[in-house]
Amino acid sequence: MKLAFTLSIKNIFGAKLRTFLNVFVLSFSFVVIIGLKGVMDGWDDQARRDSINWQFGQGQLIHEDYDPLDSFTILDGKGLIPENISGLTPILVHQASIYPQGRMLGATIKGIDLSQKSVLLPTKALINSKYNYPVIIGKRMAESSKLSIGDEVLIRWRDKNGTYDANRITVVDIFDSNVPAIDSGQIWMSIETLWQITGLNNQASFFIADKNYKHKPINFWKFNSQEELLKPISDLVAQKNGSQSVIYFLLLTIALLAIFDTQVLSVFRRQSEIGTYIALGMTRQKVIGIFTFEGSLYSVLALILATIYGFPLLAWFADVGFAVPPADQKMGIPIADTIFPIFGLKLVFGTIFLVLFASTVVSFLPTRKISKLDPILALKGKKQ
Amino acid sequence: MKLTLKIILGFFVSVNLFSQNKTFPTATSVIKKIDFNMLSKSQIINSEMIVYGKRKSRTIRSRGYSEGLNKNFTEYLYPEREKGTKMLRLQDRLWIYSPSTDRIIQLSGHLLRQSLMGSDLSYEDMMEERKLSEIYNATIVGEEKIEDRDVWKMELTALVDDINYFKRILWVDKQRYVPLKEDLFAKSGELLKRISFYNYKKTDGRWYPRKMNYRDMLKNGKGTDFIVNEIKFNVSIPDQYFLKSTLKE
pLDDT tens digits, one per residue of A13-40? 887 888 888 899 889 988 998 998 899 8
ipTM: 0.79
Do A305 and A285 share a structural domain?
yes
- Asked whether residue A202 falls in the same domain as residue A245, the answer is no
A168 and A37 inside one domain: no
DSSP letters of A58-89? TEEEEETT--TT-GGGTTT--EEPPSS--SEE
Last residue of one domain, picked from the residues A212, A240, A260 = A212
| Domain co-membership, A69 together with A45 | no
> Quick check: is A103 in a domain?
yes
Task: Give how far Cα A173 sits from Cα of A133, A135, A197, A271, B160, Å.
Answer: 13, 7, 21, 78, 38
Res. B13 pLDDT band, cuts 50 70 90 = very low
Task: Look up the domain containing A105 and give its range.
Answer: 59-212
Considering the domain boundaries, does residue A218 fall inside one? no
Does residue A221 form part of some domain? no
Cβ distance B186 to A166 less than 8 Å, yes or no, reads yes
pLDDT band at residue A378 under the 50/70/90 scheme: confident
Number of domains in chain A: 2
pLDDT of res. A8: 80
Q: Tell me whether A165 touches chain B (CB under 8 Å).
A: yes
Give the C-alpha separation, B168 to B189, whole Å: 10
Q: Within an 8 Å CB–CB cutoff, is residue B166 touching chain A?
A: yes
Per-residue b or e along A49-75, where b marks 16 or more CB atoms closer than 10 Å to that residue's CB: ebbbbbbbbbbbbbbeebebeebebbb
Identify the domain boundary among A149, A182, A212. Answer: A212
Does residue B3 carry a pLDDT above 60? Answer: no
**If you count residue pairs, one on A and one on B, with CB atoms under 8 Å apart, how many are there?**
72
| SS3 of residue A260 by DSSP | helix
- Residue A279 has a pLDDT of 83
Reported as type and span, the H/E element at residue A172 is strand A164-175
Q: Does the pLDDT at position B227 exceed 70? A: yes
pLDDT band at A320 (very low <50, low <70, confident <90, very high): very high
Give the integer Cα–Cα distance in Å for A12 and A4.
Answer: 12
Say whether both A339 and A362 belong to one domain: yes
Q: Are residues A23 and A82 in the same domain?
A: no
Check residue B128 and give its pLDDT: 67
Residues 30-69 of chain B whose Cβ lies under 8 A from any Cβ of chain A: none
**pLDDT (mean) for A265-271:** 84
A226 inside domain: no
User: Are B220 and A103 in contact (CB < 8 Å)?
Assistant: yes
Cα nearest neighbour of B107 on chain A: A72
Res. B20: pLDDT tops 60: no
Helix axes A226-269, A345-367, angle to 10 degrees: 30
pLDDT digits (tens, 9 = 90+) for A219-253: 999 999 999 999 988 888 888 878 888 888 888 88
Q: Is the peptide bond before B79 cis (omega within 30 degrees of 0)?
A: yes
pLDDT tens digits, A272-287? 888 888 888 888 888 8
For the domain spanning B26-243, the CATH number is: 2.50.20.10
| pLDDT-above-70 percentage for chain A | 98
- β-strand A186-190 against A105-112: which pairing, if any? parallel
The pLDDT of residue B213 is: 95
Q: Indicate the average pLDDT of chain B.
A: 86
Q: Are residues A175 and A265 in the same domain?
A: no
Q: Where among A151, A182, A212 does a domain terminate?
A: A212
Q: What is the pLDDT of residue A328?
A: 65
What residue type is assigned to position A158 of the chain? R
Whether A337 and A279 map to the same domain: the answer is yes
Residue A330: its pLDDT value, please? 65
Pair A71, A39 in one domain: no
A126 in the same domain as A97: yes
Interval B191-203 mean pLDDT = 94
Q: Would you say residue A371 has pLDDT above 90?
A: no
How far apart, in whole angstroms, are the C-alpha atoms of residue A349 and residue A329?
31
Question: What pLDDT sits at residue A331?
Answer: 67
